[in-house]
Chain A
Amino acid sequence: MVAIQTDGLTKRFGSGEAGVLALNDLDLTVEEGEVFGFLGPNGAGKSTTINILLNFIDPTAGSAEVLGHDVQTESKQVRQRTGVLPEGAEAFERLTPREHIAWVEDAKGIDADTDAILDTVGIADAADRKAGGFSKGMQQRLGLGMALAGDPDLLILDEPSSGLDPTGMKEMRQLIREQAASGTTVFFSSHILSEVEAVCDRVAILNRGRLVAIDSIDGLRDALGTGSTMTLTVDAVPDSLTLAEIAGVSDVVVDGRIIRVSVDDAPAKVDVIDRIRDDGASILDVTIEESSLEDLFSAYTGDVPPRVNGTEVER
């Protein structure tokens, strides 16, 4: 069974010159039972994707299904079966955590084990205190508790560790593992690689609205192997780029006039340069770096300076 499926999902905010393409033709499949990490820098389109899945915004093009339900026409069913931790969730200041969970019970028509949930997320001590004075981290824990209530089939967590201290982040990872062990699909976004590395079955890396990589952590590691990443700046990317045929080339990503090539064999590097020239492009610059997983993330996402309107894109 498929938990989340998106098909050509595209979102443009505004129109014309001032418009921002927040999400560009995203195809994504998350299987049931997976822990799926949705990775990318701020402004990459992670929250935009999650907002579409929850029907907070309409896609400009494309479609998405969650647990077999169309996110636009059957949003109620989606939200009935999903536990959601929205981005920057703010608690209701005049309600206690216990009342927050009761509210979820009412809204979903379920019965939850409130004490167990509050204990799990570590705010059992504050169960009957009004949430008005809660720190960002406590609000985040409460939000997670609300998402867990009723043992949903799918958890959608938008930056779950934001506002948490290192201990809290560790507990969050532990909690995600436990949920996964009990069969819950977990889809969570993060801009921190180490966070997803520790718990995810698979990750997708998003940058500037585009999916730039999707694989298991091991797959990403294997793809990199002992190899390296070549970043080539060309005058114009040839229409018939044939780099993928070269033995020793494991991945090719084109971003504007920049071609990134993952190379497993050292001799293949020269072949890559020759082939690009044969295809008819002039190479303006070449950098080669030996890759770690961190490098992979930054190679996909970090070389582009953060856009000034980055926060606006991440709406």
Chain B
Amino acid sequence: MTLPTLWLTIARKEFADALRSRMIWGIVGIIAVMSSLSAGISLLVPDVEGGAEMAIGGASQFAGLLVPIMALIAAYLAIAGERESGSLKVILGLPPSRGEVLLGKFLGRSGVVAIGLSLGFVVSGVVTVILYGGLPMVAFIGTTVLTVLLGVSFVGIAIGISAVTATRARAMTLAITAYLGLTLLWDLAPNAVHLLITGEMPGGVVPAWFLLLEGLSPTGAYNALVQRLLLGSGAAVDARIGGPAPSYLDPAVFLGILFAWAVVPLLVGYLRFRRADLS
């Protein structure tokens, strides 16, 4: 028998393990319930004209907050937990290299998060059809794909964190820090920079770099991309900065940022994990 593709073997095992732990169903359930609720919420508010696009927009708002924490929880212990319990030595006593273990865990957990999010969105899509009598497929599928990308970015961040920490407690500290920093505190950064440079808080019209700063976090990039997708044009951006958008506010840039957030933490984690003392 030839040597198997070891990272694929590990990814499969990770995925099967997540199915057994019912983690994936937790993700499906939470996303389905929360995004359905937020899709329906505009119907509950009187005097608000809500359409299906708005419902998807509402769901994406929730997803921007929920998906990072779920992806972090799904993956932050992938390596650190097994390192603390000693079962990492069982895996690394077998032929897989540390790089293969890291890649396999990233792909396996990404698969879990991706499938969990997609199924959750399918449920909320059905709810949207029931409530609004229709569903704009391009916007819906696009938002689902972007949400999966956001989830995968945070899985990359979580695996990177897991690879540089030796204990569960430390991994948890870093995961919480990453969540607070990247989803909640990041929004303050552009405001602070704006205040420093111009001496006043940002008003209705902001400089173009302000939007780039906002979109440098994974959640910021996700929000920029979803907005662009749902509106179908960059009109909102042009209005916000009071003129034509520079090329660095192109959706491709934000897509690149989202990818970079998946890959860079993974690489940093790998470089640290590659020669770490596992004792």
**Segment among B86-94, B227-235, B241-249 that sits at the interface with chain A:** B86-94
**Segment among B2-10, B116-124, B203-211 that sits at the interface with chain A:** B2-10
Residues of B within 8 A of A104 (CB): 94
Residues of B within 8 A of A55 (CB): 92
> How many whole Å from B182's CB to the nearest CB in chain A?
30
- Report yes or no: B95 in contact with A58, Cβ–Cβ below 8 A: no
- Report yes or no: A51 in contact with B86, Cβ–Cβ below 8 A: no
Which residues of chain B (1-55) have a CB below 8 Å from chain A?
Answer: 1-4, 6, 9, 13, 17, 20-21
Q: Which of B4, B87, B93, B96 contacts A92 (CB 8 A)?
A: B87
Q: A85 to B90, alpha carbons, bound, how many Å?
A: 8
Check: B198 CB closer than 8 A to any chain A CB. no
> How many whole Å from B16's CB to the nearest CB in chain A?
9
> How many whole Å from A4's CB to the nearest CB in chain B?
15
Which residues of chain A (72-115) have a CB below 8 Å from chain B?
Answer: 75-76, 79-80, 82, 84-92, 94-95, 103-104, 106-111
Q: A56 to B92, alpha carbons, bound, how many Å?
A: 8
Q: A79 to B90, alpha carbons, bound, how many Å?
A: 11
Q: Which of B2, B4, B17, B90 contacts A89 (CB 8 A)?
A: B90
Residues of B within 8 A of A80 (CB): 95
Residues of A within 8 A of B21 (CB): 94
Check: A57 CB closer than 8 A to any chain B CB. yes
Q: A87 to B86, alpha carbons, bound, how many Å?
A: 8
Q: Name B93's closest neighbour in chain A (CB-CB).
A: A84
Q: A82 to B93, alpha carbons, bound, how many Å?
A: 8
**Segment among B69-77, B260-268, B271-279 that sits at the interface with chain A:** B271-279
Q: Name A77's closest neighbour in chain B (CB-CB).
A: B95
How many residues of chain B get a CB closer than 8 Å to chain A's CBs? Answer: 26
> How many whole Å from A310's CB to the nearest CB in chain B?
14
> How many whole Å from B234's CB to the nearest CB in chain A?
48
> How many whole Å from A32's CB to the nearest CB in chain B?
20
CB-CB under 8 A for A57 and B279, given A86-B90, A90-B90, A146-B90: yes
CB-CB under 8 A for A51 and B278, given A79-B95, A106-B9, A107-B6: yes
Residues of B within 8 A of A189 (CB): none
- Report yes or no: A89 in contact with B277, Cβ–Cβ below 8 A: no
Q: A109 to B94, alpha carbons, bound, how many Å?
A: 11
Check: A54 CB closer than 8 A to any chain B CB. yes
> How many whole Å from A239's CB to the nearest CB in chain B?
36
Residues of A within 8 A of B87 (CB): 89-92
Check: B85 CB closer than 8 A to any chain A CB. yes
> How many whole Å from A229's CB to the nearest CB in chain B?
33
Q: Give the number of residue pairs across the A-B interface with Cβ within 8 Å.
A: 83
Q: A51 to B93, alpha carbons, bound, how many Å?
A: 10
Q: A103 to B85, alpha carbons, bound, how many Å?
A: 18
> How many whole Å from B19's CB to the nearest CB in chain A?
9
Check: B177 CB closer than 8 A to any chain A CB. no
CB-CB under 8 A for A110 and B90, given A56-B279, A58-B275, A92-B17: no
Q: A94 to B21, alpha carbons, bound, how many Å?
A: 8
> How many whole Å from A301's CB to the nearest CB in chain B?
21
CB-CB under 8 A for A76 and B277, given A89-B86, A106-B9: no
CB-CB under 8 A for A103 and B89, given A51-B278, A94-B20: no
Residues of B within 8 A of A88 (CB): 86
Q: Which of B6, B90, B91 contacts A143 (CB 8 A)?
A: B90
CB-CB under 8 A for A106 and B279, given A88-B86, A90-B86: no
Residues of A within 8 A of B86 (CB): 86-90
Q: Which of B2, B13, B93, B277 contacts A79 (CB 8 A)?
A: B93
With most chain A CB atoms within 10 A of its CB, the pick from B9, B85, B87, B97 is: B87
Q: Name B277's closest neighbour in chain A (CB-CB).
A: A57
- Report yes or no: B278 in contact with A107, Cβ–Cβ below 8 A: no
Q: A315 to B96, alpha carbons, bound, how many Å?
A: 22
Residues of A within 8 A of B91 (CB): 107
Binary contact track A137-165/B, C-beta < 8 Å → 1, others 0: 00000010010000000000000000000
A to B CB contacts below 8 Å, 7 in the list: A54-B93, A56-B278, A76-B97, A92-B87, A94-B17, A107-B95, A146-B90
**Which positions in A face B, CB cutoff 8 Å?**
13, 47-48, 51, 54-58, 75-76, 79-80, 82, 84-92, 94-95, 103-104, 106-111, 143, 146, 315
What are the 6 A-B residue pairs with the smallest beta carbon separation, nearest first?
A84-B93, A315-B279, A86-B89, A107-B94, A56-B278, A94-B20
